[in-house]
Amino acid sequence: MEQTQIELHQSKYQDMFSRGYELVCYLLWGMVITVAFAWITRSESTGVDWSFFVYALGPVLPMIYFGVRYKSGTKTLILNDEGFTLLTYNEKSQFSWSDFRNYKISRSHPYDIIILNSKYGKTEFSYYAFDKQQRQQLFEILDAKLNERRSLFEDD
């Protein structure tokens, strides 16, 4: 029997977009917390000083590095009959479909796709790590695997 395998490769654009989205979200959360803290403590300063700009520039440097270092995106997702494999840089997160439990999308910005499995607990990556068509393909496969699991338990 022929094995089905789908590989989703992150494009360089999608990688930069995903990193930029996360960066903006974290910066906004940082600003909200800084301004709220200044307001609560009734500080005369808004708390937004030169240290905030250092905080803001810190994540930009790795983004530039990855943009120059990698010709394409830094993530590859491989889904086959055996299981799920997420390659990020040189790291590999892999589990069989029998270990797959569920998936969800985080509730707050920046959104993440969280794959729940009995091997690692959670495998997470940015919602925008892959383009819309690739995400749709991923969700269809994950939904099909969930339906397979449900039907196995209903048959027992």
Instruction: Indicate the residue among 33, 54, 69 that finishes a domain.
Output: 69
DSSP string, the chain: -PPPEEEEE--HHHHHHHHHHHHHHHHHHHHHHHHHHHHHTT-SS-S-SHHHHHHHHTTHHHHHHHHHH-SS-SEEEEEESSEEEEEETTEEEEEEGGGEEEEEE-SSSSPEEEEEETTTEEEEEEGGGS-HHHHHHHHHHHHHHHHHHHHHHHH-
Domain shared by 93 and 142, yes or no: yes
37-84: pLDDT as tens digits: 767 776 665 555 555 665 666 666 666 666 666 666 788 999 999 999
Q: What is the pLDDT of residue 137?
A: 95
Domain enclosing residue 114, as ranges: 75-155
One domain for residues 91 and 136: yes
Look at residue 89 and tell me if it is in a domain. yes
| Count of structural domains within the chain | 2
Comparing 46 with 148, the larger pLDDT belongs to 148
Residues 47 and 83 in one domain: no
